[in-house]
Amino acid sequence: MAEREADRSVSHTVRAQLALRDLVLSGRLRPGERISELQAVEITAVSRTPVRMALVRLEEEGLLEAIPSGGFMVKAFSERDILDSIELRGTLEGLAARFAAERGVSSRDLEPLKECLNEIDGLVRQDPISVEAFSSYVALNARFHALLTELSRSPPLIRQIDRASALPFASPSGFVMAQSALPEARQILLIAQDHHRVVVDAIENREGARAEAIMREHARLAARNLRLALRNRTHLDLLPALALVTAG
């Protein structure tokens, strides 16, 4: 709540959208809970009009759900929904990788991607990986996936991937990986990094089918890991669980 006077450049609508999205992703509003406009007005400190615009956008984005009788509530997702979303995104990113490979990319376009890979390498090479390093990894991983998506040079596909990534991969704000889970997480990161390298190689050599296959495999791994995590800690909340996936 320190950004009351910050970002005077952006519109009220956007500010409201950001504030309300954070409200949902932080978990302060539980799934299924109704979010009233009055409440939203108090939180965002703008009037009802931009608040309503933000609510409509968040509904289209998939974070909220319209209540038939009026108003919105935080959308609830089942474990199945999340797992499906992971596979869905993997499929879309597979298509993006194939497009990139088939259409060819210049070495100039690949440069930022490789640089991203190297930065990730630097992080995962530390053996007892630190909590901060893991958080950095999550951000870099998101960057890698975004860059890869861009390589497809297909606006409709990029748009679709953005939408598909909106919910299941929206990193819950303020979440940090538990110290105890770090060694296990590092092993997963190493495999994921291997996938990353393979897909870049496949794109570079214009092997569309291989590029697509590896991204699908990448997603299946993420789904498997999430399933295991949910099994082990019996009542792990879905929201923090999403953060695990974000690392995939």
| Binding site residues, DNA, CB under 7 A | 11-13, 34, 36-38, 46-50, 52-53, 69-71
Is residue 163 near a copy of itself by the rule CB under 8 A? yes
Q: Kindly state the greatest CA–CA separation across the chain.
A: 56
Of 49-57, 188-196, 203-211, 234-242, the window that binds a copy of itself (rule: CB under 8 A) is: 49-57
Select the binding partner of residue 36 from DNA, a copy of itself, none (C-beta < 5 to 8 A, by kind): DNA
Q: What gap in Å lies between CA 36 and CA 19, rounded to an integer? A: 14
Given 34, 125, 159, 233, the residue binding a copy of itself (CB under 8 A): 159
Is residue 157 near a copy of itself by the rule CB under 8 A? yes
- Report, in Å, the least distance between residue 9 CB and DNA: 10
Strand partners, 74: 64
Specify the residue, 128 or 156, whose C-beta has the smaller distance to a copy of itself: 156
> Which residue has 């569309």 as its token pair?
208
- DSSP single-letter state for residue 175: -
Given 41, 88, 110, 236, the residue binding a copy of itself (CB under 8 A): 88
- Report, in Å, the least distance between residue 183 CB and a copy of itself: 32
Burial (CB count <10 Å: 0-12, 13-18, 19+), residue 60: exposed
Select the binding partner of residue 47 from a copy of itself, DNA, none (C-beta < 5 to 8 A, by kind): DNA
Here the tokens at position 200 are 């870049």
Q: How far is CA 173 from CA 24, 25, 176, in A?
A: 9, 6, 9
Kindly give, in sequence order, each residue whose CB lies less than 8 Å from that of residue 84, ignoring residues fewer than 6 positions away: none
Here the tokens at position 85 are 């979303």
Is residue 65 near a copy of itself by the rule CB under 8 A? no
- Report, in Å, the least distance between residue 52 CB and a copy of itself: 7
Is residue 213 near a copy of itself by the rule CB under 8 A? no
Q: What gap in Å lies between CA 129 and CA 106, rounded to an integer? A: 34
CB atoms within 10 A of CB 235: 5
Residue ranges in contact with a copy of itself by CB under 8 A: 49, 52-53, 56-57, 60-62, 80-81, 84-85, 87-88, 91-92, 95, 99, 154-157, 159-160, 163-164, 167-168
